[in-house]
Amino acid sequence: MDISRRQMLGASAAALYLTRLAQDVHAADAAQSASGHALPGSRLTEEFKVAAVQAEAVYLDLKGGVDKTIRLIGEAAGAGAKLIAFPELWLPGYPFGHESEQWKKAYLKQYVANSLQIDSDEWRLLLEAAAREKIFVSLGYSELEGGYLYMGQALIGADGRPVQIRRKLRPSGGERTVWSDGDASGLRVYETEIGRVGSLSCWEHMHPQMTYILQSQMEHIHIGAWPILPEANGFNWAGPAVNLAAARYYATITGAVTIVPCSIVGDEAYSRFQAIPASRWVPKGGGHARIYGGNGAEIGNLIPHEGEGLVMATVDPRAFSPKTEDSDGEFSYGVLQFILENYPGPRVPDKEHGSKNLVAIGSL
């Protein structure tokens, strides 16, 4: 991958950071190609299908969730999909009310025990399922490592080997009372046989400092994983109007096919949410899985917001850009340099977000 944009960079610290990131991406792509994920000339040239999951997670049950995941992987592969994408925190479900002491007292211990550990037996079962069905799998999960939880998002190759294992860079709002920060190494796009694939979770799409870095790597396919998009008065920030607009916008400005998996609230999760005052506002349903073409238009089938199934669409890799960079595009580094040089007003340090947030689970 020849990232010629770095020749355009100014001397600012932000520009220097992006230069180094671009070099890291170049090295990662080279290593990945050597590993066999993207050998020269191996990219698909015929149309293929992709799938976004809209289903209820098996709440607080990792084993049950893995079983359902494997079943859906098989269903998508059987329907001809080359990629299936699961929602944010699909394993073991998105726990509305997690910021409250009532939820922590009632469910935190169980939630931690049912969070996924990389290289565990459950993880290996998921890798084996991807290899057996010969399908790429984008998976969202709560990851347990040591004494910390992270909001994990992995891309598993059709050969059963991980392409990317990333963590949500900065969990949103009250999520920061449970999950710790990831790091910027997860802001990378990977060359694969189905194209250049990148991933973000939920409100990472609301932060230009995150989206810009992925956009500058010229994705072909973007996984935008959301948890549940409930429609409730006073909670527009959580609903489909705001969040699907972010996904559609992302597809439009990048030209990337953007896949939006989404969970639903069924009877089991609803009863759990009703038991906690902080989550009683969450209604049933909330499934708004979508797939957007590179022009921002919805493609594929739609499912009622309370229903389970796969949203599937056909994409044509011949429409993907052959470039890995576009120095004259909307996301040129010249634009970044202009922003840096003309930033209005004094720069005030953000005390809340100025350092890495780590939540020691044992202290809760």
Catalytic positions, written as ranges: 88, 168, 202
Helix or strand holding residue 310 (H, E): strand 309-315
Given the structure tokens 């993880």, which residue do they identify?
123
Provide the token pair at 133: 């069905």
**DSSP letters along 117-186, please?**
-TTSHHHHHHHHHHHHHT-EEEEEEEEEETTEEEEEEEEE-TTSSEEEEEE-SS--GGGGGTEEP--GGG
Helix or strand holding residue 48 (H, E): strand 48-55
Query: Which residues, 6+ apart, have CB-to-CB distance to 137 below 8 Å?
Result: 73, 83, 84, 85, 86, 126, 129, 130, 154, 155, 156
Rg of the Cα atoms in the chain: 20
Distance CA 24, CA 184 (A): 11
Query: Which residues, 6+ apart, have CB-to-CB distance to 109 below 8 Å?
Result: none
Given the structure tokens 């910390």, which residue do they identify?
148
Q: Residues 135, 34, 315, 155: is their CA dihedral positive or negative?
A: positive
In eight-state DSSP terms, residue 362 is G
Distance CA 153, CA 338 (A): 33
